[in-house]
Structure 1
Amino acid sequence: MAELSKEELIQQKLDKLKADYYAHLPDEIDQLIALTKKLKNEESSREKFHELHVRLHKITGSAGTFGSNNLSAHARKLERKVKNWLQDPLSEITRDEIKLFITTIKQLKKDLNNELNHVNKHKFSLVPSNTGPAPSKTYNIWIVDDDTFLVDELSYQIESFGYKTRKFNKLSALKLALKSNEPDLILLDVIFENDEKSTDLISLMPELNSSRSPIIFMSSTDEFDTRIKAAQIGAQGFFIKPLDVPSLINRVVQLFERKRAPAKRVLIVDDDKRLAEHYRLVFESANIEAEILENPTEIINKVNQFRPELILMDLYMPDYFGPDLAGVVRQYENWASLPIVFLSSETDLDKQIDAMQYGADDFLTKPISDSQLLSAVRSRINRARQLEALISRDSLTGLLKHSSIKDAVENEISRAQRNQSSVSVAMLDIDSFKQVNDTYGHATGDVVICAIAMLLRQRLRQYDIIGRYGGEEFVIILPECSLQQTLQILDDVRQRFSTVKFRHQDSEFCCTISIGFAMNTDFPGRNGSELLIQADNALYYAKRTGRNQTINAHQLTEMSESYE
């Protein structure tokens, strides 16, 4: 028998979960009937009314998710009635009303049999996963502009960052090429010689409209109408000539990094275990990591451990109110900006607004389709990542800023100490960089800085951490890296950078880098700041003794001890 694919395995789990849900639903309705029979028009029944509301609330949300919208709608009507009872004085509830309510729930059970026949005819369909390209992929960029000199210059600079380019001087040539191939990105000029705007012509180019290739527009004028049309086409960037090449390259890098970004992480807080497991499987099918929190009192420990990028939280749970849990999360500075989305069958707009005042970012109503849930979660996490990048990343290189990379060093050293693992911290500096700026200008210097940033992104492992420490100096964190691996990775970067050719007008030149690094295993008990000092000392020694070399801080310690 052929081995099942990941999607088929998840599909099996979803189908089993669905069958299990409907197998237990008749018992759940029986419990509703038993609970309702215990109701009395007394204050002592308030707790039972609250339990009844929670149980109906769960059915309202879960039944639709598992394929029965009719059952969900029936449960919602009952839930609203119970909610009204809870809001009004219990003395006004008559015994006849309770009997009628019991009869309605019994009818709900009869309706369930009819619903099962309908639901079983419909299978869940998974949303196709988007794993993105492998990190080792060579990206292809097409440059479309009738300015031959600009196309050649852009092609040269882009290829120096490790990309492949293809040049087009006419839209007709681009249209023909798109019929048989798609690039990873298109750089497209807005106005050609004949003064026709490419944004107008795109409506006549179904190949480009249907292409999955992101588009970045270039223009010599900054007109609002042109930007609107670019936005309608889905442009991922709009740059004004003369082009700021480092900024353009940075945007290109950001677009490609999104494709190879680590999996999104979602924490599900819902007391309905089957429904929570359904959501988890749906996220897994879309390559989103998801974990379920069963004990709300452990929410902060779970958040610190799992570090989710979004919390998906039910509003009503037996022991805790969702907004109260959200308020607890917001008490911790580290998680003050963590996106929290309520997912509930509550349809009262005023109650939704009240709930969001506790610090939630969105409110989704159960039942919700799998595709709608995925779209909402992806959009929210993507936006959070963009905002985080603006706050913590350097605008020129897109790498972590000084303070952020220092924090990252401290975090990784602490993690390594807990796990008893190794971590290497390296400091890197571009040799004779002042001479580059003085000779070729600061704009060219920015290109050199972007080039080393791009090379680091390409050559380091996906879980390594890179930051711009200041000016032409960078910090690299290599978790779980042995001495041999550290030397191999850093020397690979150093040697490759020395072969990159930069061009200024009619002249070409190359640059080199010096690197100093320190390993936590060589300096036990040292914190992040102390390890950075050791790496900086090694970097200073590398530059003082000839540049373009990699020095281990432990070597300096051994040399010092030998000298003594």
Structure 2
Amino acid sequence: MNENEHSQRIQIRLLALREDYLKRLPEELAEMRRLATQLLQEDKPAGTLGILQHRLHKLAGSGGTFGLPELSGYARRLEQQIHLWLDKLPPSQVELTAFIGEIGTLAELNMHTGYPGADQPPPSRPLAQQDMIHLWLVEDDRLLARQLVDQLTSFGYRVTHFCQLAEADQASAHDSPDILLLDVMLEPEGINTTEQMTLLPRLMALSCPLIFISARDDFPSRVRAAQLGAEGYVLKPIEVPRLVNRISRIMENRASPPERVLLVEDDQLLADHYRLVLEYAGMAVEVLQQPEQIAETVFSFRPELILMDLYMPDYSGPDLAGVLRQYDNWAGLPIVYLSAETDLGRQIQALRSGADDFLTKPISDAQLVAAVRVRVNRARELMAQINQDSLTGLLKHATIKEAVDIALTRALRDGHPVTLAMLDIDHFKRINDNHGHATGDMVISAVAMLLRQRLRRTDIIGRYGGEEFLVVLPRCDAASAHHLMDEIRKDFAQVRFSKGDTGFTCTLSLGLACTAAFPVDTGAELLARADRALYQAKNTGRNQTRTATQ
């Protein structure tokens, strides 16, 4: 066995160990949440606190080993909190309620496998990666196909081109794409792919999303595409940045985190049944049987939808919905009544109290899952439309600024650094003037794509201005942030763009500011320091990364 084979076997065993750890972790986190919730019912919680401290201690030691540094650090902080309670004053009910919410946060951190924060620099990775999204393009116009392949490759996709549908069908016998792009009408035979697809069962059996490309914008063509399950219908001439944004949205939806559902139900057996059904479908479910704690539960669990019984012993569903609607942050939170009430008048009256829909018991398991999933997805799409830039899919200016304030508040509370990175595309006006605004949009989208590929899920990215971006890096010191962002700068300089037969590259300038370098009280102050560092980078030659100092 040569050294390379030996190394590969070790990597496979390490990955298997990590997968086994990740499979066991949800059960452990669920048990810790159960123990934490139990604290509120105990007069002397020292025994349960001791058990939790031991479990947190083990988690703090194992999380970082298996690629979950944030989980490890968070568990260590909670372990230290219990240590203080056991050594000094026992916790109050308010402190315990907040602690239960923080235990719940551990489950979210379980999903984030980002780079280590302040202890060591994050690992960099090249643009050409084995995990890049693989697109199949079926297009008989060779000139258009070549342009699409070049431009989509510039965005970091791997593209395989087929001239005819039959070629893709043959390839599907031994391979499959992440997304299939099909021209609706292939010449010279005049093949309508929306009709031919049904005659090719291997292509129809592919589980990947389908996007049609067409010069036709007629209603029957769109209906037929919808009947085939298409998730996109892109008109010619193709605006590649829009196509890239659509692809990104589709892939993000497929990799989106579990739907978070709060179930308010006083029937224990029924609540358990609904919880199991939804959890089996991959959702995260919290059951609340103490209605007076609904505000605290919503604050800690942050549900995306509330399923609520209409009639309960002490408080009705409209009572609780009315309370939640008093909070500005929860004014748009979807609330659905799940009740045996069949009187239409009473249902309508209940909906007037702040709920969004009404489901009637008994309800089949399949209907329950579908109803919850479609409502959460629609809520997510609505929030994306409100908060995200249409070209890049990143947060808009106002939303990313708000994210800075939230991240700074958490950093000051937890004692961890947060770093801001401001990015600007060098000589962007020259790109628009020489190559056109459509090409400029493609460059902007490429920056957004690269940032999303390289950053952690816990990092926050926004389009701050026309060609300016802002990145919030929680729990990341200046040295780690500089290493990561400068690697992104270098990689972007290698991306080649094309306009007709003309190819070109462009560069980025970056300014960083970290809370560990100087005291700041507001997000605006931290932003100003990052902006000054960016100005220095642009004023001293561009294509460089500068970090603000004292």
Q: TM-score, normalised by structure 1?
A: 0.73
Whole-Å Cα distance in 2 between the matches of residues 409 and 5 of structure 1?
Answer: 31
Structure 2 counterpart of 1:550, one-letter code: T
Whole-Å Cα distance in 2 between the matches of residues 158 and 528 of structure 1?
Answer: 36
1:522 aligns with 2:505: no
Q: Which of residues 176, 187, 201 is equivalent to 1:182?
A: 176
Whole-Å Cα distance in 1 between the matches of residues 414 and 314 of structure 2?
Answer: 35
Structure 2 counterpart of 1:165, one-letter code: V
CA shift at 1:346, angstroms? Answer: 2.0
How big is each residue's C-alpha offset from its partner over 1:167-221, in whole Å with a ceiling of 9 and x where there is no partner?
A: 0101111222223322110110011112231112222222232221111111112
Structure 1 counterpart of 2:156, one-letter code: G
Q: Which of residues 293, 302, 306 is equivalent to 1:298?
A: 293
Structure 1 counterpart of 2:195, one-letter code: D
Kept after mapping to 2: 8 A contact 1:424/1:519: yes
1:491 aligns with 2:486: yes
Q: Which of residues 243, 255, 262 is equivalent to 2:257?
A: 262
1:137 aligns with 2:143: no
Whole-Å Cα distance in 2 between the matches of residues 499 and 408 of structure 1?
Answer: 30
Whole-Å Cα distance in 2 between the matches of residues 420 and 310 of structure 1?
Answer: 32
How big is each residue's C-alpha offset from its partner over 1:515-541, in whole Å with a ceiling of 9 and x where there is no partner?
A: 111122333342112111111111111
Whole-Å Cα distance in 1 between the matches of residues 545 and 263 of structure 2?
Answer: 46
Kept after mapping to 2: 8 A contact 1:427/1:476: yes
- The unaligned stretches of length 5 or more in structure 2 are 1-19, 31-109, 115-129
Partner of 2:160: 166
1:553 aligns with 2:545: no
CA shift at 1:4, angstroms? Answer: 12
Kept after mapping to 2: 8 A contact 1:269/1:314: yes
Partner of 2:323: 328
How big is each residue's C-alpha offset from its partner over 1:131-190, in whole Å with a ceiling of 9 and x where there is no partner?
A: 99x998321100001101111111111111221111010111122222332211011001
Instruction: Give SS of 1:167's match.
Output: strand
Alignment of 1:86-485 (within 5 A): 137-193=131-187, 194-485=189-480
Whole-Å Cα distance in 1 between the matches of residues 509 and 390 of structure 2?
Answer: 24
Whole-Å Cα distance in 2 between the matches of residues 277 and 252 of structure 1?
Answer: 38
Instruction: Give SS of 1:470's match.
Output: coil
Whole-Å Cα distance in 1 between the matches of residues 504 and 245 of structure 2?
Answer: 22
How big is each residue's C-alpha offset from its partner over 1:533-555, in whole Å with a ceiling of 9 and x where there is no partner?
A: 1111111111111211111112x
- The unaligned stretches of length 5 or more in structure 1 are 14-130, 558-564
Structure 2 counterpart of 1:390, one-letter code: Q
Kept after mapping to 1: 8 A contact 2:152/2:240: no
Partner of 2:99: none
Kept after mapping to 2: 8 A contact 1:520/1:526: no
Instruction: Give SS of 2:206's match.
Output: coil
Residues 1:237 and 1:526: Cα distance change in structure 2 (over 3 Å): same
Residues 1:511 and 1:465: Cα distance change in structure 2 (over 3 Å): same
Structure 2 counterpart of 1:412, one-letter code: A
Deviates more, 1:273-282 or 1:412-421: 273-282
Kept after mapping to 2: 8 A contact 1:345/1:367: yes
Whole-Å Cα distance in 1 between the matches of residues 518 and 284 of structure 2?
Answer: 35
Instruction: Give SS of 1:235's match.
Output: coil
Structure 2 counterpart of 1:382, one-letter code: N
Instruction: Give SS of 1:346's match.
Output: coil
Partner of 1:501: 496
Residues 1:268 and 1:522: Cα distance change in structure 2 (over 3 Å): farther
Structure 2 counterpart of 1:387, one-letter code: L
Q: Percent same amino acid among aligned pairs?
A: 52
How big is each residue's C-alpha offset from its partner over 1:307-362, in whole Å with a ceiling of 9 and x where there is no partner?
A: 21111111111111101211121122211111111112222222222212222222
How big is each residue's C-alpha offset from its partner over 1:352-406, in whole Å with a ceiling of 9 and x where there is no partner?
A: 2221222222222233333322221111111111111111111111111111111
Partner of 1:543: 538
CA shift at 1:291, angstroms? Answer: 1.9
Instruction: Give SS of 2:191's match.
Output: coil
Structure 2 counterpart of 1:233, one-letter code: L
Instruction: Give SS of 2:480's match.
Output: helix
For this pair of structures, how many residues does the alignment match?
A: 434
Whole-Å Cα distance in 1 between the matches of residues 425 and 214 of structure 2?
Answer: 33
Whole-Å Cα distance in 2 between the matches of residues 498 and 225 of structure 1?
Answer: 44
How big is each residue's C-alpha offset from its partner over 1:454-511, in whole Å with a ceiling of 9 and x where there is no partner?
A: 0001000112110001100001011111233212221121111011011112221111
Kept after mapping to 1: 8 A contact 2:482/2:512: no
Structure 1 counterpart of 2:259, one-letter code: K
Q: TM-score, normalised by structure 2?
A: 0.75
Structure 2 counterpart of 1:195, one-letter code: G
How big is each residue's C-alpha offset from its partner over 1:427-472, in whole Å with a ceiling of 9 and x where there is no partner?
A: 1101111111111111111110000000001000112110001100
Whole-Å Cα distance in 2 between the matches of residues 155 and 525 of structure 1?
Answer: 47
Whole-Å Cα distance in 2 between the matches of residues 269 and 213 of structure 1?
Answer: 36
Kept after mapping to 2: 8 A contact 1:523/1:531: no
Kept after mapping to 2: 8 A contact 1:516/1:551: yes
Structure 2 counterpart of 1:286, one-letter code: A
Whole-Å Cα distance in 2 between the matches of residues 263 and 479 of structure 1?
Answer: 22
Instruction: Give SS of 2:341's match.
Output: coil
Kept after mapping to 1: 8 A contact 2:478/2:512: no
Larger C-alpha radius of gyration, 1 or 2? 1
CA shift at 1:256, angstroms? Answer: 1.0
Instruction: Give SS of 2:186's match.
Output: coil
